[in-house]
Amino acid sequence: MISFENVSKQYQDGTTAVDSISFTVQQGEFFVLIGPSGSGKTTTLKMMNRLIPLSDGYIFIDGKKISDYNIHELRWNIGYVLQQIALFPHMTIEENIGIVPELKQWSKEKIHHRVTELLHMVSLDPDVYRTRKPSELSGGEQQRVGVIRALAADPEIILMDEPFSALDPISRDKLQEDIIHLQKEIKKTIVFVTHDMKEALKLADRICLMDNGKIIQIGTPEEIIHHPKNEFVKDFVGASSPLRSDFQLEEIIGPILNHKPSATIPVSASLEQVLGELTKQEELLVEKDGKVIGYVNRQMLIQYFSGAVDKGGIGND
Ligand code: ADP
């Protein structure tokens, strides 16, 4: 468990990057920090493993102040994945993955076994990949190695700073799927920074939306979409331009079975209109040319946001 109590960070030039924030990340939770550029996400993340010292307040990990941990113990027990994975170019993939286990003085056999297990987890054939050098891997493969390297010594906490943002959309989707799958197996505490709302909605148990060094709202994807605390949250959710321009209500509606929602919405409604209505009603009938052609509920909209709805498919339950 990670707890922040009134934590602030002022950089030397006087910039207040983080302004008295308090929150708790539960054990095993996938916690996403999101917000516009400069809102304080990376600073918040890096204070957790003391890469950046805090100016005020307290951070606790499992009830103990992070300043009371031995710095090496703290770093080795927190996995860390960056946007640009820095694999050591002269080392093999096995050696790269084994860095922290080696520091922890694991035996050669144990490291070898662990590397095999980890490569399997992200669908890289150990026989092929363990002896390769980083330059013999694609960008997506290198990033996968970066993710499993962070898991290598079995840390309880993993910090990820925009780990997929430099990848092409297909590799990004694949890695997001990998991480969802991995998280189901390993149940670690993951703190993940992104500026991409679609990614946040897909991955998060809870989302923490930041602006200007402050926390604006913390909630589950459903709460953030359907109970945005203010206009900033509403705009941030609605403003993800790919979501907005792609939106076709007709593609996400389901057939009417026993549903009799009372309110209706035209099929031509924009994403903002549907979002607005679904914050007031659980579900809506969808009309086209004066006829009811289906219905939409909050769950379907969340599925749409998280990319779970196939193009042209119908999400029903
Ligand atoms: P985000 O990750 O949300 O983009 P950051 O945590 O990187 O935000 O930055 C928060 C604020 O702190 C920004 O205004 C940024 O310019 C500033 N900042 C970040 N690092 C430093 C630094 N080393 N010195 C001074 N200001 C910094």
Query: From atom 21 of ligand 1, which residue's Cα is the shortest distance away?
Result: 11
**3-state SS record for 227-275:** CCCCHHHHHHHHCCHHHHHHCCHHHHCECCCCCCCCCEEECCCCHHHHH
CATH superfamily of 2-237: P-loop containing nucleotide triphosphate hydrolases (3.40.50.300)
Q: Is 40 in the pocket of ligand 1 (CB under 6 A)?
A: yes
Question: Looking at ligand 1, which atom is closest to the CA of residue 46?
Answer: 6
Q: Which CATH number fits domain 243-310: 3.20.20.70, 3.40.50.300, 1.10.10.10, 3.90.1280.20?
A: 3.90.1280.20
What pairs with residue 214 in β-bridges?
211
Question: Looking at ligand 1, which atom is closest to the CA of residue 39?
Answer: 3
From 9, 11, 215, give the residue whose CB has the most ligand 1 atoms within 8 Å, as the site to mutate: 11
What residue ranges of the chain are covered by domains with CATH 3.90.1280.20?
Answer: 243-310
Q: Is the dihedral of CA 129, 132, 138, 143 positive or negative?
A: positive
Q: Per residue of the chain (317 residues), give pLDDT as tens.
A: 999 999 999 999 999 999 999 999 999 999 999 999 999 999 999 999 999 999 999 999 999 999 999 998 898 889 998 877 778 999 999 999 999 899 889 999 999 999 999 999 888 999 999 999 999 998 889 988 998 898 898 899 999 999 888 777 887 888 888 888 888 888 899 999 998 888 898 899 999 999 999 999 999 988 888 888 998 888 888 765 455 667 788 888 888 877 677 889 999 888 878 888 887 888 899 999 888 888 998 888 877 776 644 443 333 33
What 3-state class would DSSP assign to 28?
coil
Q: What local confidence, expressed as pLDDT, does residue 244 receive?
A: 62
Q: Is 307 in the pocket of ligand 1 (CB under 6 A)?
A: no
Q: Is 17 in the pocket of ligand 1 (CB under 6 A)?
A: yes
Q: How far is the CA of 16 from the centre of ligand 1 (A)?
A: 8
- Summarised one tens digit per residue, pLDDT across range 254-283 is 888 776 778 899 998 888 788 888 878 888
Q: How far is the CA of 40 from the centre of ligand 1 (A)?
A: 6
* C-alpha closest to that of 80 among 185, 192, 172: 192
What residue ranges of the chain are covered by domains with CATH 3.40.50.300?
Answer: 2-237
Q: Is 183 in the pocket of ligand 1 (CB under 6 A)?
A: no
